[in-house]
Amino acid sequence: MHQDTLLVLIVTLLTYLVAGYFDLAERYIDWTALGEIYQLDEAVFVLLSGCIGMIWFSFRRRSELTKSLQTNLAMQNELQQTNQHISHLLDENKALIKHTALVRESERQHLATELHDVFGQHLAAMDANLTVALNVTDNDDLQTMLQSVMDSTTHLRSITKNKLRNLKPPILKSIGLSGALQELFQDWQQSFPEISLSSLLSVEDDILDEETALTLYRAVQEGLVNVSRHAQATEVSIVLNEITPSSLAGNTSLHLRLSDNGKGLPPKEPIKGLGLIGIRERVEAQSGTFSVVTASPQGTQLELTIPLNLNKQGI
């Protein structure tokens, strides 16, 4: 702004000096006298009027641009406030999801404890009493009835044991995520021997925090449940590994891929299962990515990535 003003003043002064040195006004009168018939001598007033009009136009444009700039700044400030509010809401939503997951796990732990302490102990006592009763009675009809009750008790104990495994995963702090997943694979393979399961676990348990480890465990558990219930698959593959970035600025991430050769997903159908929706929310609350897509050439692929914070205390 100041440089432009100085430039205008310099040009004006130079014009004055040049005009005075060459007597441009007298020369202008002589030149325009030759074209008096065309009123060329009046051109100076036309040019003066045009300059005044341009100055007026410049002031109008400057006023409009100032108003437009003020409006844009106000809109930018409003957008920044809106973005800050949205960012705050997203942070609150992530915190709420984490709290909900924590409460859900706490409820599962409580329910698992109740099943173990109440159902488990009473069913074990019933099993022991029925065994004694079978050994002391000689009545065939009574033995048949007692054996039937004992079979039902054994069945209930098996169901209770399976529910306990689903509700309360192995203690991750003691055996690590890899050990917990291996136990999950063995139990699942015993329940569904007709489905071939292959796994590749390449992750260091001691660098995982408990929240991340539990999220990965629940994701694998939910994926296997969906395979057994809906996929109609004969093979399922699970890969869990670390992704190390090429640049030092990036963060190491954990990558999980669970794929099967089943019937796949209906085309363009969003995720409907509450279990998968819960896993997606937990992953996104940890700034991760989650997807469930139709695999190639067939089947379904569940894939998620969670950034690994190495500053957290491992499990």
Neighbour count for residue 311 (Cβ, 10 Å)? 6
- Smallest CA-to-CA distance from 97 within 215, 4, 187, 179 is with 215
The pLDDT tens digits along the chain (315 residues) read 678 778 878 888 888 788 777 777 777 676 666 666 666 667 777 777 888 888 888 888 888 899 999 989 889 888 888 888 887 777 777 777 777 767 776 776 767 666 666 777 777 778 788 787 878 777 877 878 878 888 888 878 777 777 766 666 666 777 888 888 998 898 889 889 999 999 999 888 888 888 888 889 989 988 998 898 888 899 999 999 988 765 545 678 899 999 999 888 776 665 666 778 888 888 988 889 999 888 777 889 999 999 886 545 444
State how far the Cα of 166 lies from the Cα of 160, in Å rounded to an integer: 10
Q: Given this model, what pLDDT does residue 37 score? A: 64
- pTM score, two decimals? 0.60
| Phi/psi at 89 (5° precision) | -65, -40
Q: Given this model, what pLDDT does residue 39 score? A: 65
- Smallest CA-to-CA distance from 259 within 229, 306, 289, 303 is with 303
Q: Given this model, what pLDDT does residue 256 score? A: 95
Helix axes 210-226, 172-191, angle to 10 degrees: 0
**SS3 per-residue string spanning the chain:** CHHHHHHHHHHHHHHHHHHHHHCHHHHHHHHHHCCHHHCHHHHHHHHHHHHHHHHHHHHHHHHHHHHHHHHHHHHHHHHHHHHHHHHHHHHHHHHHHHHHHHHHHHHHHHHHHHHHHHHHHHHHHHHHHHHHHHHHCCCHHHHHHHHHHHHHHHHHHHHHHHHHHHHCCCCHHHHHHHHHHHHHHHHHHHHCCCCEEEEEEECCHHHCCHHHHHHHHHHHHHHHHHHHHHHCCCEEEEEEEEECCCCCCCCCEEEEEEEECCCCCCCCCCCCCHHHHHHHHHHHHCCCEEEEEECCCCCEEEEEEEECCCCCCCC
Largest Cα–Cα separation, the chain: 147
Q: Given this model, what pLDDT does residue 313 score? A: 46
- Smallest CA-to-CA distance from 231 within 267, 258, 261 is with 261
- CA 23 vs. chain centroid, Å, equals 78
Burial 147-176 (b: 16+ CB within 10 A, else e): eebbeebeebbeebeeebbebbbbebeebb
Q: Given this model, what pLDDT does residue 273 score? A: 66
